[in-house]
Structure 1
Amino acid sequence: MRDILAWREIDLSALLNNIKVIREKIGKKVDIIAVVKADAYGHGAKIVSLFLQKYANVNSFAVAHIDEGIFLRKIGITKKILVLSPQLKSSIPYYLEYQLTPVISDIEFLEDLGKFSHSKGKELKIHLMFDTGMGREGLLPSEVDKVLNVMEKYPGLILEGISSHLSNSENKKDPYNIFQKKLFYEIYDKFKDEELVFHFSNTGGIFNFPEFHFNAVRPGISLYGYGDKALKPVMEVKAKITLIKDLPEGWGIGYGHTFMTEKNTKIALVPLGYADGYRRDLSNKGRVILNGEYCKIVGRISMDQFTIDVTDKEAKKGDVVTILGMEKDKIIDAQELAIISNTIPYEILTGFGSAKRLRSVYKFEGKILNDPILDLSL
């Protein structure tokens, strides 16, 4: 790794731990539908999905867009793949070609699917998504009878599952969760005599509402280490110091000289910036870990780099700085960065994950993997 200036470390042991924590929470009879949309929340859908398929015995995956599902098939995912979000009519042939399972949110798309499957003389398994108060994708509960009428017209459509999505399950005290529960149970009662997959819980539902588990759950952020204290963050972000210099009193640092030195100050340059997912909101507010100690960010986060105060610290060129992660007893997680940046951990993780300059380095059982596919026989 001597030639890498900044990188993501993805700990597959932490991922496996999180699956075990979720499994302990939901029991053996509830299926896990692993949500790997948005490149597995920035952790790399290819390695994460193949690892979960082989080492965690995950039998179902979920993505947002059909292109993500096609990608999973092409890399070797053989298990069930749900496409959660509404797609356009042009996507319909690919559900059959790649054996993907659409999660239906509107009657028009359901009708189009039915016509296509009938024209090809093939069956297609589907799930229905009901809007119980998210106000986004999903059929309204009042549309159940219309849906059933369409299903009767097209026997090639095989109903396999019923789902909904919680709006604020992270907040156990929000009465809106009970409102959504009531609506989903009304839908459940209409289909409970059929052998279907019922999935209502995201991460918040898994850890806060056991009565929402039914026979399947959809963990997303919890796979990657957030949502419960027993979970372990899977992603760390690190970089190597490229420059150390001494600045005199009264010297400005960074664009707009938003930080002025009040004494002789030693600074270190860290080669990672907002183009790499490190948000500008962290300017003069964030901190990193260097040699087991916290160091403050001074000045603005630039596109490619930022500066930290290393006055009276042990620091030299090439030293590794932990931007996201844990070192000794010090920790900086996505929740901390999200609070400072007035956002959520999801955006922090996907921001780092979408940064093209950051290389992903995978490790398992404490060892860096040169090639995860070969090293783990994925």
Structure 2
Amino acid sequence: MTAMTHTPMRVRAEIDLAALRANVRVLRARAPHAQLMAVVKSDAYGHGAVPCARAALDAGATWLGTATPQEALALRAAGFDGPLLCWLWTPGGPWGAAVEAGIDVAVSGMWALTEVVDAARALGRTARVQLKADTGLGRNGCQPADWPELVRHALAAEAEGTVSVTGLWSHFACADEPGHPSIAAQLALFHGLVAYAEKQGVAPEVRHIANSPATLTLPEAHFDLVRTGIAMYGVSPSPELGTSAELGLRPVMTLAASVALVKQVPAGHGVSYGHHYVTDRPTTLALIPAGYADGIPRHASGTAPVLVGGKWRRIAGRVAMDQFVVDLGEDGDTLEPGAEALLFGPGDRGEPTAEDWARAADTIAYEIVTRIGSRVPRVHMNEE
């Protein structure tokens, strides 16, 4: 779809796939000697996994990445048969289905290696395994002290033919904070753990540690592959790195709604639950039919901006489950129901950005776009 030609919706998330492709090209140029993994976990950060995966591959991405095995298997079911890594496993997960589908599975400890080896033996197949090291983030990944044991057992399974160790990888904790001392420490540790594994006989297809901020700012961390998530969707990984525009990225999502009601109210009129906002003059209120059930942060009540009638307005009172209110002031009495309200987007039309909403809600822009709920239709534009 190249233009909004349909009947106006209550609320909609317009996804500009041309912007996504352009962002992928920018990121590839930042890491010209590495392959690029398009991370499409959590329904592509709320943008729609299948269309975004297709657009990213069209623009030169060579890998796809997901968190859960269900996300990875859904991509295989949708016809994506290229390299695909899935990293968030729990005991009893669908290892066999992943092995059969040729999905690279991340292994962070002996329990996971045991389960994937058992699944591969049962199927008579070779599992594609990537060993993950905890170099300092303190989440998933094998502790350095346990790395020799994991490498030894992985090589034994490889000699048996049940696994192929296709990757060695890790994840930064503070790459979005330029100059943070943990960055150099993690990078040095990763070099050491990779060198150890390779000396023991591991011959990985890819070694990788760079996320979006590292892709943009740390060429020494690019190795064979970079994993780009939020930056691919045109959102800056952090204010310290610069705005989206300063990084050459364009936000992909625009969240818009149709004004449901416009009405005049007197001074002293309470607005929404708890009457945390009370009008101080006769004014015009506009009802925006989106709420926290749609992913609008309730903690943005009274603070988040919306472009309505050509001007920024702040949410008046509390965000409710399905709706919130903006005070249009004295110049709002000409607005009609059905007018467009722009919650956030690239900013081309003067609308707020996801970063503006993140500041208003005291969070990060990642959360703003990812939390938009499933009952908000995604309208994918510029698919060709």
Instruction: Give the structure-1-normalised TM-score.
Output: 0.91
* One-letter code aligned to 1:258: H
Aligned equivalent of 2:224, options 209, 212, 215: 215
CA RMSD of aligned residues (A): 1.7
Displacement of 1:182: 1.6
Q: Equivalent pairs: percent with the same residue?
A: 30
Q: Give the ranges of 4+ consecutive aligned residues of structure 1 lying more than 6 Å apart after TM superposition.
A: none
Displacement of 1:31: 0.4
State which drifts further: 249-258 or 222-231. 222-231
Displacement of 1:152: 3.4
Residue equivalent to 1:121: 124
Instruction: Flag the 1:356–1:148 CA change in 2: closer, same or farther, 3 A.
Output: closer
Instruction: Flag the 1:146–1:4 CA change in 2: closer, same or farther, 3 A.
Output: same
Residue equivalent to 1:149: 152
Aligned equivalent of 2:110, options 107, 112, 115: 107
Deviations 1:24-69 (CA, angstroms, capped at 9, x unpaired): 1111x2000111011111001121112323x223221111111111
Aligned equivalent of 2:350, options 300, 320, 330: 330
Matches within 5 A, 1:367-378: 376=384
Displacement of 1:3: 4.7
1:196 aligns with 2:201: no
Residue equivalent to 2:312: 294
Residue equivalent to 1:17: 22
Residue equivalent to 2:297: 279
Deviations 1:66-103 (CA, angstroms, capped at 9, x unpaired): 11111000011111110111332342211222111101
Instruction: Give the structure-2-normalised TM-score.
Output: 0.90
1:248 and 1:264 in contact (8 A); partners too = yes
Distance 1:252 1:153 in 2: 70
Residue equivalent to 2:368: 348
1:69 and 1:83 in contact (8 A); partners too = yes
The runs of 5 or more residues in structure 1 that have no matched partner are 365-371
1:235 aligns with 2:253: yes
Deviations 1:213-268 (CA, angstroms, capped at 9, x unpaired): 11101001011112243111111100011111111111111111111111111111
Aligned equivalent of 2:7, options 2, 8, 16: 2
Instruction: Flag the 1:115–1:287 CA change in 2: closer, same or farther, 3 A.
Output: closer
Residue equivalent to 1:98: 101
1:178 aligns with 2:187: no
Residue equivalent to 2:288: 270
Aligned equivalent of 1:224, options 233, 237, 243: 233
* One-letter code aligned to 1:335: E
Matches within 5 A, 1:124-143: 124-143=127-146
Residue equivalent to 1:305: 323
Distance 1:220 1:77 in 2: 18
Distance 2:90 2:42 in 1: 16
Distance 1:153 1:213 in 2: 29
Aligned equivalent of 1:160, options 154, 166, 176: 166
Could you say what secondary structure the match of 1:186 adopts?
helix
2:20 and 2:55 in contact (8 A); partners too = no
* One-letter code aligned to 1:188: V
Residue equivalent to 2:3: none
Distance 1:115 1:276 in 2: 42
Distance 1:322 1:219 in 2: 27
